[in-house]
Amino acid sequence: MLNDKAAPKDAYGLILEAIDVGVYRPGDRLVESELAERFGVSRTPIREALQRLETQSLLTRDGRSLIVASLDHSQLSELYIVRAELEGLAARLAARHATPEEVAVLRDMVEEDMSILNQPDQLSRANRRFHKQIHLASHNRYLVQQLDLVHRSMALMATTTLAAEGRGEKALAEHAAIVDAIAARDEDAAAEALRAHISVAFVTRLKLDAARGDDITS
C-alpha cells in the first residue's frame, strides 16, 4: 500500500534540475528565500544545496550573491575533451556489456526522437536520456558517476547545439550509427562514433558562440 505522506523534497536535486532545464541560466542570481518559496522547502536545505552547488563550481560568487556559473572558452574546450573520452569509453563498454534489451531501448529512443526534430528543447532532454542510457549500458558504476558530473557542467551552457539549423537530424543519424556499432559488438567503432558525435557537437557549439558574439558587437 502506498504511503500517503509526501516524500521530502531534495533541494539540491530541484535546483540542479531547474538549471538543467533552463529555468535558471548562466548569470542568473539565486536567492535563498525565492528558491524556498518556489520549491516549497525551508531555507536551511536550500542554503546547504547552494553551498554544495558552489563547491561543484556550478554556482559562483558575485559579491555576496550566488549566480549560476558560465563557462569560458578554455573551460568549454576542457569539458568537451573530457566528455569525448569518457563518452567514448562508455560506448566501448556498452558494445561489450549491453544486454539485447538495452540495445532495443536505444534503438527505440532514436526512432521516437524523430518526431521531435523541430522542438530543440524537447530534443535536448531526449538527447540527455539517450546518452544516459549508453552510460548505464556500460555497466560501470564509476564511469556513470564521472559522466554525471560532466553532464551537470553541461547544464551551464545557455543554449543547446540541437537548436542549430539541421543539427537535430544529423545528431539522430549519429545516434543511430552509435547504436548500430553497439549492437554489432564493435567496441572500436562504437567508441569512435561517440567521440565523433561529441566532436561535431563541439564544433557546432563554437559556431553558435561565435555567431552570438557577432550579434553582440553588431
Taken in order of first residue, the domains within the chain and their CATH numbers are 11-68 (1.10.10.10), 73-217 (1.20.120.530)
Residue 11 has pLDDT above 60, yes or no: yes
> CA 75 from chain center: how many Å?
16
**What integer pLDDT is reported at residue 9 of this predicted model?**
65
Q: Rounded to whole angstroms, how far apart are CA atoms 168 and 110?
A: 11
Q: Rounded to whole angstroms, how far apart are CA atoms 109 and 36?
A: 35
Q: What is the mean pLDDT of residues 23-38?
A: 92
Residue 161 has pLDDT above 90, yes or no: no
> CA 89 from chain center: how many Å?
17
**What integer pLDDT is reported at residue 153 of this predicted model?**
86
- pLDDT class of 217 with cuts at 50, 70, 90: very low
Residue 24 DSSP label = S
Average pLDDT across the chain, whole number: 89
**What integer pLDDT is reported at residue 17 of this predicted model?**
85
For the chain, the distance separating the N- and C-terminal CA atoms, rounded to the nearest angstrom, is 62
Task: Answer whether 9's CB lies under 8 Å from 40's CB.
Answer: yes
Helix (H, G, I), strand (E, B) or coil at 58: coil
Q: Rounded to whole angstroms, how far apart are CA atoms 190 and 34?
A: 45
Least confident range from 12-21, 40-49, 128-137: namely 12-21
The pTM of the full predicted model, rounded to 2 decimals, is: 0.80
Least confident range from 2-16, 72-86, 199-213: namely 2-16
**What integer pLDDT is reported at residue 109 of this predicted model?**
97
**What integer pLDDT is reported at residue 62 of this predicted model?**
86
Residues 6+ apart with CB under 8 A from 6: none
Q: Rounded to whole angstroms, how far apart are CA atoms 192 and 89?
A: 9
**What integer pLDDT is reported at residue 196 of this predicted model?**
97
Helix (H, G, I), strand (E, B) or coil at 106: helix
**What integer pLDDT is reported at residue 213 of this predicted model?**
62
Highest mean pLDDT among 141-145, 155-159, 166-170, 203-207: 141-145
More confident call, 4 vs 207: 207
Cα distances from 202 to residues 84, 104, 116, in angstroms, run 10, 28, 22
